[in-house]
Amino acid sequence: MAKSLRKSKTQNFYDQIADVHNLAMKVNGYRNSVAKFLKSLDLKLDENSMVLDAGSGTGIITLGFQSAGFRPKKSIALDLSFNSLKIAREQFENDKETDESRISPVQGNILNLPFADESFDLVLSCGVLEYVPLDAGLQEMARVLKKNARLVMIPIKPSFVGVVLEMLYKFKAHPIEDVKEISHQYFNIVGNYKFPITEPIGWSKMIFLLEKK
């Protein structure tokens, strides 16, 4: 019961702040920062690939993925918050750099992803694992990834800004050493990227590039 209650609170919280959160993500330049990083990777995606944005929020990461020039067969933007997905859908439809016909918003929980085993060639995850037990979240993402497929994980890094975000967004960041240790159970860590300090996203976030074992 307590676990279910926590999920409900998180969903309600983001339903209430979806518009403000979306504006904050735009101001922080998340889209451009993520797009530049993704462009630098050899993700081995093609027109038959399936991509999941797990905990997509209002769609900023999926929009960055589109800005990077990737056009897989289908991208799924999954989030717990209905209002966040409503904003995401509107942005996908109106954005000139985005092929919205290839993107499907889906409401769901990252601890119980509504997809079969080994469904995806890539999973993107930004700012969502902080709300769940890290082991359970990573295990579920590994389940839906194909063997040797990759997870781009963008966690909160230790910083003053990170502490402020914890208070504002009501989550608890996982220690980076825990992220590394638990990731090794399901993935090989093939990259550890730090955003330049000149980009606002770099004040609070870093990137792990993981490959499913």
Helix axes 30-39 and 2-27, enclosed angle (nearest 10): 90
Q: What is the pLDDT of residue 116?
A: 98
pLDDT higher for 92 or 197?
Answer: 92
pLDDT tens-digit series, residues 132-151: 999 999 999 999 999 999 99
- In whole angstroms, how large is the CA radius of gyration of the chain? 16
Half-sphere exposure of 158 (CA within 13 A, CB side): 6
How many domains does the chain contain in total? 1
180 touches 189 (CB < 8 A): yes
Q: What is the pLDDT of residue 9?
A: 83
CA–CA separation, 145 and 158 (whole Å): 28
Q: What is the pLDDT of residue 57?
A: 94
Supply the CATH number for residue 43's domain.
3.40.50.150
Q: What is the pLDDT of residue 4?
A: 39
CA–CA separation, 79 and 53 (whole Å): 8
DSSP 156: B
198 touches 139 (CB < 8 A): no
pLDDT higher for 125 or 41?
Answer: 125
What is the arithmetic mean of pLDDT over 70-84? 96
Q: What is the pLDDT of residue 7?
A: 52
Q: What is the pLDDT of residue 82?
A: 94
Name the pTM for this structure. 0.92
Q: What is the pLDDT of residue 1?
A: 31
What is the arithmetic mean of pLDDT over 66-76? 96
Q: What is the pLDDT of residue 18?
A: 80
Confidence of residue 8 (pLDDT cuts 50, 70, 90): low
Q: What is the pLDDT of residue 100?
A: 95
Which residues span the domain enclosing 142? Answer: 2-212
CA dihedral for 50, 70, 66, 98, sign (positive or negative): negative
What is the arithmetic mean of pLDDT over 150-170? 92
**196 φψ region: left (φ > 0), alpha (ψ -120 to 50), beta (else):** beta
CB count in 10 Å sphere of residue 74: 14
